[in-house]
């Protein structure tokens, strides 16, 4: 009889562990961890994806890039800031991988650093409509 009690208790523990649902915040943290394992990634000749993080307290996902070569130009970035912002916002809205963040009302941030000066040359923040 004791044997069955131990087996039932073990099955209940296993079952409760398997049915535990992961929160959206935990899912976003896991995505960031997986992405960071691949970093840094050269996106093209002028942009390197360095890292990402999710801040559950702020419900914000941030992506960090470094601008290289001819794109490493703070003046050009500031001059074209509005055009870059519009293009980036359109990409965010249309990207399937961003849907969960948008649906959850997550703030989405893109930070671009200069490779030569190691300073921020652009910071784009998009608030989800939810």
Contact predicate 121/114, CB 8 Å: yes
pLDDT(4) > 50 = no
Rg of the chain over Cα atoms, rounded to whole angstroms, equals 21
Closest CA to 60 of 32, 85, 34: 32
Q: Tell me the pLDDT tens digit for each residue of 62-110.
A: 999 999 999 999 999 999 999 999 999 999 999 999 999 999 999 999 9
Q: Tell me the pLDDT tens digit for each residue of 21-60.
A: 899 999 999 999 999 999 999 999 999 999 999 999 999 9
pLDDT of 13: 46
In degrees and rounded to multiples of 5, residue 87 shows phi and psi of -65, -40
Which domains are present in the chain?
23-126 (3.30.300.250)
pLDDT(12) > 70 = no
Cβ-based neighbour number of residue 27 at 10 Å: 14
The reported pTM is 0.82
pLDDT of 10: 45
Buried b (16+ CB within 10 A) or exposed e, 29-68: bebbeebeeeeeeeeeebbbbebbbbbeeebbbbbbbbbb
pLDDT band at 129 (very low <50, low <70, confident <90, very high): low
pLDDT of 5: 46
């Amino acid at each position: 009889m004791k044997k069955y009690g131990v087996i039932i208790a073990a099955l209940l523990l296993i079952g409760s562990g398997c049915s535990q649902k992961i929160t959206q915040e935990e899912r976003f943290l896991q995505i960031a961890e997986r992405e960071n394992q691949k970093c840094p990634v050269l996106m093209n000749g002028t942009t390197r994806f360095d890292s990402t993080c999710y801040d559950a307290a702020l419900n914000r996902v941030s992506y960090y890039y470094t601008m290289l070569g001819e794109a490493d130009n703070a003046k050009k970035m500031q001059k074209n800031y509005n055009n870059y912002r519009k293009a980036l916002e359109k990409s965010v809205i249309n990207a399937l991988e961003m849907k969960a963040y948008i649906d959850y009302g997550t703030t989405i941030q893109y930070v671009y650093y200069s490779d030569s000066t190691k300073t921020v040359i652009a910071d784009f923040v998009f608030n989800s409509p939810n």
